[in-house]
A and B are shown apart, each in its own frame.
Chain A
């Protein structure tokens, strides 16, 4: 038996991998975090962001900063007559070509991006976005080790969407066209790292359907989070932010910050960002988390919560207001896992709600 072990060691030791694609793995990791957050938020209780300011037209939202002097060239092209089957779109970012292909058209499930970004994402049925959303975007990030890093966003559009307009922070305007593939209508576009999406507007044949102003994170260089769609004439929520919790866990400091705005509500805890659409009345609930943290919303009557993560001990957590809403968050220690339960109390110490952690 030891001979087999030694021979396997010799044989596999002779396998010479290429250079470690460190930067590509890190960008893919960021994308995984975004996808994980999206999944966690699927059942999240939404929060109404009531603070609004009237904005007569989205044209004003597209009042853009002066284009950078060294703007990176970005293009998006629909498939041509000789394009490979399943191609949604292709183009360039800087001097890098990109494309997005549906790998398995029959199941409409696996998206593959390249050329310098190898990423496969199987997302299931892509024929329609969720009800009420004109478009559902997923994304990936990558690029060559010494070249322009970029993000690719892709997804299905609703049946009535005829065109899409994407405005980047440097003034670049992209017009990805829906491509019909095996019954689905899909769009894809790419953006350079560090040049966030300013807005994305979808149009029917007769006019604007909705605009989303994404949350690009505190550093503004990651994948855009399209948390909310605003209809023409709809008041745009004001931008507010505030720290809802901070402390140390396993000797490391942490902080949780909530950003309210036209994207909805986004919670940033360390490297994690989670956004959701404020379409329902506020409630007290666990609304998101990662292997490192748990967070949620709280009704106005809630003063504090006792949160007990799986494998952990009960912890008292304050409900903190940001604008008109309340949130709470905890950082998990190394002995604690996602899941568990919470109980919410008012200022008099009376229990007002309870539930499970995600």
Chain B
């Protein structure tokens, strides 16, 4: 790798690090894991940096790796994540609108299962279509629809709070 390429990579990573960690945080629900996933994605990009630069869109490349890394992560942690299905604090007990309060929204996101969380982030934050989300998560469009529906219902906490907003 040339010194020029290395400097290009450093500049790119410094500039895009916060955005990729935030994406990874949305997907993982944990800042430590998010930074690990983002660092791994940048490392993979660096491993093929000249190739990545030739694509003309390194941002999309790293974003794609972040999503893939998270897919791998939740495949490996599937059993552990299933245990989280028993939500310790039922969202219905909160009087805070989880979708308009940042803290509450992040907390609610963390309570979701990994695939539901990924669907919410990709579909409603990254503005991916259902088909794009399905491709990114290696699942069917039907799965995206059903996971999104369940995730939104869980995020609402109490149905009456967000009635209409998420339709």
Contact = CB atoms under 8 A, between A and B. Distances in A.
Given A7-B100, A334-B55, A28 B26 contact: no
B1 A7 contact: no
Nearest to B42: A25
A7 B46 contact: no
Contacts of A21: 35, 39
A12 B106 CA distance: 8
A29 interface: yes
Bin the interface of chain A by size.
Answer: 35 or more
B47 A29 contact: yes
Given A11-B106, A25-B39, A20 B50 contact: no
B74 interface: no
Given A1-B124, A3-B165, A271-B50, A26 B9 contact: yes
Contact of A4 (B31, B34, B43, B166): B166
B44 interface: yes
Given A8-B125, A118-B39, A32 B44 contact: yes
B18 interface: yes
A9 B49 CA distance: 29
B94 to A, nearest CB: 15
Given A26-B6, A250-B54, A33 B47 contact: yes
B102 A292 contact: no
A291 B44 CA distance: 12
A279 B137 CA distance: 43
A10 interface: yes
Contacts of B18: 16-17
Contacts of B6: 26
A30 interface: yes
A14 B103 CA distance: 9
Contact of B40 (A5, A22, A28, A252): A28
B145 to A, nearest CB: 14
Interface string A20-52: 111011101111110010000000000000000
Interface of B: 1, 6, 9-10, 13-14, 17-18, 21-23, 25-26, 31, 34-36, 38-40, 42-51, 54-55, 99-100, 102-103, 105-106, 109, 120-121, 124-125, 127, 165-167
Interface of A: 1, 3-5, 7-18, 20-22, 24-26, 28-33, 36, 118, 120, 250, 252, 270-271, 290-292, 334
